[in-house]
């Protein structure tokens, strides 16, 4: 593609993106497709000859876009948001155009130094102490894996990477019943094994792990010759917002000399609002934290920040320094590839810099406060309907509910059918989960451009379709 064609199609893509965002409310949130429909429209073999860009772009519009779930739709109330504020999309255009590999300071000094600065901006925004440094990872899964590897190495006196785990005692890691499956994967990939992820029973409104149960499990494991390594606390779990008492977890960890990692992938964004920081009181005492600006803050995926109290432990766990990766003649520089599992790194800091400057913390706080208020209002409205029950009270902007009309024998099947009927309708998008063994429906408000009217529409759609199905 020559320069003028590149200019033309870049402009076309930008114009398409703006038109797409403007028209999202007219589209169903989730496509009305059966598996294989898109696949069957794509040629089975690769083209031997070059094809014109106008044909490629036309196929994109005709075949791909109608098969997409629209994550930027203002009535996307499923999962957690994967927001891409328009200003962060603009930044991503620039990143894609430069196409830099930012693994070392010398491979893009501005990328490294901007990352240092914007991560510290976020530390200040969240009210964390200066003792934390940070790095932008691709996702919370990678950040949690890095934390689990670090707690493993620290427990093994830094011999695991060298000697392997075959001769080591069985390592134990502790968490609540409500953590994200990324914790399970980190345990698998680290070699610790799922049998050694100890799930502590939860209690209370926010389903926090029991500190007494945690302490007892650690003592029992030590008495049985096992090796406790760390605890993964949860703030705003994916299912229904499960949130541990971080201060209590830190207290137990300090008594036993264990590493504490906090998974606040979704809820961490809300901590830019001082009134919500009670949800992670005691966080200044943990060893690492992960939160995802690409969820609630509006940074285009992927952009996950891991804060670390002792970066040297992380670097000692992950860094490999072959001769070809050394930066000679420069002392005191940071190479963030030594803080991450992958060597390759994208220039993720640019979109966060654009986002924070274009919206300011006040603008982002206002968005989050609105989402929390609107979600609480919807929970109250549904709770007043005689055939609905609120199964978990709002944790920030997330709650769960259940339709329970009289005369329905299997409420689990009824609610699973209800959420599917709502999603087929297309006006809103929800997801289900299981809570205390029962099927329930999740609602979370978090899309960057959602309005109170969109949440009102959610109420109307939920009640309308439930009554039609009941």
Q: pTM of the predicted model, to two decimals?
A: 0.91
* Spatial distance between the Cα atoms of 470 and 466, rounded to a whole number of angstroms: 6
Distance, CA of 122 to CA of 400 (rounded, Å): 30
Q: Residue 232: what pLDDT? A: 95
* DSSP three-state, residue 444: strand
Look at residue 362 in the predicted model and tell me its pLDDT: 96
The residues spanned by each domain of the chain are 3-67, 101-346, 360-469
CATH number of 101-346: 3.40.640.10
Residue 208, beta-bridge partner list: 203
Is 20 exposed, middle or buried (CB count within 10 Å of its CB: 0-12, 13-18, 19+)? middle
The tens place of each residue's pLDDT in the chain, 470 residues long, gives 889 999 998 999 999 999 999 999 999 999 988 889 998 999 999 999 999 999 999 999 999 999 999 999 999 999 888 999 999 999 999 988 888 888 888 888 888 999 999 999 999 999 999 999 999 999 989 999 999 999 999 999 999 888 888 888 999 999 988 787 888 999 999 999 999 999 998 877 778 889 999 999 999 999 999 999 999 999 999 889 999 999 999 999 999 999 999 999 999 999 999 999 999 999 999 999 999 999 999 999 999 999 999 998 998 898 876 544 555 445 568 888 889 988 888 889 999 999 999 999 999 999 999 999 999 999 999 999 999 999 999 999 999 999 999 989 899 999 999 999 999 999 999 999 999 889 999 999 999 999 999 999 999 999 999 988 76
CA separation for the pair 146, 127 (Å, rounded): 23
Q: What is the C-alpha to C-alpha distance for residues 229 and 144, in angstroms, rounded to an integer?
A: 14
pLDDT at 324: 46
Return the half-sphere exposure (C-beta side, CA atoms, 13 A cut-off) of residue 50.
Answer: 4
Q: What is the DSSP string of 353-370?
A: HHHHHHHHHHHHHHHHHH
CATH code for the domain defined by 360-469? 3.90.1150.170
Closest CA to 192 of 165, 218, 217: 165
Residue 437 tokens read as 């063994």
Class of CATH domain 3-67: mainly alpha
Secondary structure (3-state) at 39: helix
**Order of strands across the sheet with 133-137?**
133-137, 304-308, 288-291, 259-263, 227-234, 171-176, 197-200
Nearest to 445 by CA among 358, 375, 382, 390: 375
């Amino acid at each position: 593609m020559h320069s003028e064609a590149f200019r033309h199609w870049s402009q076309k893509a930008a114009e398409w993106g703006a038109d797409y965002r403007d028209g999202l409310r007219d589209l169903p949130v989730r496509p009305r497709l059966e598996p294989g429909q898109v696949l069957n429209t794509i040629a089975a073999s690769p083209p031997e000859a070059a094809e014109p860009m106008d044909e490629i772009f036309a196929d994109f519009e005709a075949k791909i876009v109608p098969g997409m779930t629209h994550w930027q739709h203002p009535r996307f109330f499923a999962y957690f948001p994967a927001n891409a504020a328009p200003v962060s999309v603009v930044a991503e255009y620039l990143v894609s155009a430069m196409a830099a590999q930012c693994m070392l300071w010398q491979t893009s000094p501005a990328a490294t130094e901007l990352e240092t600065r914007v991560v510290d901006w976020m530390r200040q925004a969240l009210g964390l102490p200066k003792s934390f440094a940070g790095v932008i990872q691709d996702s919370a899964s990678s950040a949690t894996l890095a934390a689990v590897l670090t707690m493993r190495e620290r427990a093994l006196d830094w011999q695991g990477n060298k000697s392997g785990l075959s001769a080591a005692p069985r390592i134990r890691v502790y968490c609540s019943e409500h953590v994200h499956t990324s914790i399970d994967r980190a345990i698998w990939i680290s070699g610790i094994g799922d049998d050694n992820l100890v799930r502590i029973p939860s209690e209370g409104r926010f389903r926090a792990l029991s500190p007494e149960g945690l302490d007892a499990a650690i003592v029992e494991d030590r008495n049985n010759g096992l090796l406790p390594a760390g605890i993964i606390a949860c703030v705003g779990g994916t299912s229904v917002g499960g949130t541990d008492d971080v201060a209590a977890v830190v207290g137990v960890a300090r008594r036993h000399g264990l590493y504490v990692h906090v998974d606040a992938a979704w809820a961490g964004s809300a901590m830019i609002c001082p009134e919500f920081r009670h949800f992670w009181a005691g966080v200044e005492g943990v060893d690492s934290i992960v939160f995802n600006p690409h969820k609630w803050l509006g940074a285009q995926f992927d952009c996950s920040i891991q804060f670390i109290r002792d970066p040297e432990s992380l670097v000692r766990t992950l860094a490999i320094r072959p001769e070809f990766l050394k930066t000679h003649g420069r002392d005191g520089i940071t190479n963030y590839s030594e803080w991450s599992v992958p060597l390759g790194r994208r220039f993720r800091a640019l979109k966060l810099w654009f986002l924070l400057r274009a919206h300011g913390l006040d603008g982002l706080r206002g968005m989050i406060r609105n989402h929390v208020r609107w979600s609480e209002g919807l929970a109250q409205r549904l709770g007043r309907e005689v055939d609905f029950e609120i199964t978990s009270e709002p944790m920030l902007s997330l709650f769960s509910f259940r339709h329970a009309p009289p005369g329905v024998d299997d409420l689990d099947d009824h609610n699973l059918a209800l959420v599917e009927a709502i999603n087929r309708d297309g006006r809103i998008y929800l997801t289900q989960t299981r809570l205390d063994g029962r099927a329930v429906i999740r609602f979370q408000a978090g899309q960057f451009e959602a309005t109170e009217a969109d949440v009102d529409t959610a109420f109307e759609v939920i009640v309308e379709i439930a009554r039609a199905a009941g």
